[in-house]
Chains A and B, each alone.
Chain A
Amino acid sequence: MDVTDVINLNAIDLYLQVDDKKGAIEVLSELLFKDGSIRCKEEFINDVYLREAQGMTGIGDFIAIPHGKSDSVVKTCIAVGRVDKGIAWETIDDKPVKLIILFAVDNKSKNNLHVKLMAKVAGALANKTICEALLEAEEAKDVLSIFKQN
Chain B
Amino acid sequence: MMNIIGITACTAGIAHTYIAKEKLVNAAKELGHNVKIETQGTIGTEDELTKEDIEKADIVIIAADINIGGKERFKGKKVIDVPMQTAIKSPKTLIQKIEEKLRS
Contact surface of A with B, Cβ cutoff 8 Å: 51, 54-56, 59-60, 65, 67, 69, 92-93, 103, 105, 109-112, 115-116, 118-120, 122-127
Contact = CB atoms under 8 A, between A and B. Distances in A.
A123 B18 CA distance: 5
Contacts of A111: 43-44
B89 A93 contact: yes
Contact of A126 (B10, B11, B22): B22
20 contacts: A51-B11, A54-B11, A54-B65, A56-B85, A59-B19, A65-B15, A69-B12, A93-B89, A105-B42, A110-B43, A112-B43, A119-B39, A120-B18, A122-B14, A122-B17, A125-B19, A126-B18, A126-B21, A126-B22, A126-B26
In this complex, which of A65, A119, A124 has the most chain B Cβ atoms within 10 angstroms of its Cβ? A119
Nearest to A60: B89
Contacts of B11: 51, 54-55
Contacts of A51: 11-12
A50 B52 CA distance: 39
A122 B15 contact: yes
Interface residues of B, number: 24
B20 to A, nearest CB: 8
A65 B17 CA distance: 12
A54 B85 CA distance: 13
Contacts of A55: 10-11, 65, 84
Interface string B69-101: 000000000000000110011000000000000
Nearest to A113: B43
B24 to A, nearest CB: 9
A116 B42 CA distance: 9
A92 B14 CA distance: 18
Q: Which 5 A-B pairs have the closest CB atoms?
A: A126-B22, A122-B15, A122-B18, A123-B18, A119-B18
B21 A123 contact: yes
Nearest to B91: A126
Contacts of B23: 126
B97 to A, nearest CB: 17
B85 A103 contact: no
A105 to B, nearest CB: 6
Contacts of A105: 12, 14, 42
Given A111-B43, A115-B42, A119-B39, 15 more contacts: A55-B65, A55-B84, A65-B16, A92-B88, A92-B89, A110-B44, A116-B43, A120-B18, A122-B14, A122-B15, A123-B21, A124-B22, A125-B19, A126-B18, A126-B21
